[in-house]
Amino acid sequence: MNANLTNPAGTNAFCLCGCTQPTSGKAFYRPGHDARHVSNLLAALIKQADGKGFSSEMVRQMGKGLPSEALRIKFSTAAHNFANKGQKAKAAKKAQPELIGDDTTGWKIGRWVYPMAVRFDSKHSGIHDGRYDWHYNTKRDGSGEWVSIEGVKGEMVSL
């Protein structure tokens, strides 16, 4: 990545992502290679952190070599998203309703049957108090969003 950051118009230059492909004299990157450069920097940052986490100062230092403020922001955002990835996954898992039984019950809408689940209120003992909320998944394979059944036309079926 020894490319010249000035790229004067009319001269041949090489892509800053490190691929060594030529660019026009007006461009720093080949099309799409700016994202590749950010991705390469993020990988280097993760490797440098060695599982110990990284500070905002480390991110700022690595981003200094990027030719524009927009790319520095993109890199900073990517690093922040990577650092918070585990926390988002834990929060999403916590919000998931519990699946019912052995997947023998579904919610039928039209001709399609979707997985069903029930979410219990953690402050109460659940079904015996009547404090539970039925949900169905918006995708038949269960990979979609869990939506409350209340007000949705459909019927409970055994599979």
Q: What is the C-alpha radius of gyration for the chain, rounded to an integer number of angstroms?
A: 25
Identify the domain containing residue 78 by its residue range: 13-87
Angle subtended at Cα 36 by Cα 31 and Cα 41, rounded to the nearest 5 degrees: 145
Q: Tell me if 73 is assigned to some domain.
A: yes
Whether this prediction's pTM lies above 0.85 is answered by no
Q: Give the tens place of pLDDT for each residue, 108-132.
A: 888 888 888 876 655 544 444 555 6
Residue 79 lies in a domain: yes
Tell me if 2 is assigned to some domain. Answer: no
Same domain, 17 and 71: yes
Q: Is residue 34 included in any domain, yes or no?
A: yes
* 17 vs 36: CA distance, rounded Å: 6
State pLDDT tens for residues 64-89: 888 888 898 888 888 888 887 766 66
Q: Can you tell me which residue has the tokens 């869990």?
A: 146
